[in-house]
Amino acid sequence: MLPQSMLALAELPELNSAQIAFIQTDDPTRIRLLGMGLGKGSCVEVLRNRKGDLVLSSGNNRISLGKSITQHIFVQIAA
């Protein structure tokens, strides 16, 4: 069970910011995400959410991720 303020990245509405709490994927996927600058503690903003397919902003980077990955990334909504 997840805490109330934590949800899957795929569920985060557009133009909302959050901090990655944990990533529940296999090691190769986690390493690939780390290479893109997405790891535990990273701050991201959802620019576009099309039913779980996201375009994220992380610093000066724009990253596109599919729902198969975003549903396994859990975030804490930024205050």
Domain annotation covers residue 1: no
pLDDT of res. 79? 66
- For the chain, give the percent of residues with pLDDT over 70: 94
Q: What residues make up the domain containing 27?
A: 6-77
| CATH number, residue 12 | 2.30.30.90
Position 1 pLDDT exceeds 60: no
Domain annotation covers residue 71: yes
φ, ψ at 27 (rounded to 5°):
-60, -45
Quote the number of domains for the chain: 1
Nearest in space to 77 (alpha carbons), one of 55, 46, 47, 56: 46
User: Could you tell me the pTM of the whole model?
Assistant: 0.90
Domain annotation covers residue 49: yes
**pLDDT tens-digit profile of 53-75?**
999 999 999 999 999 999 999 99
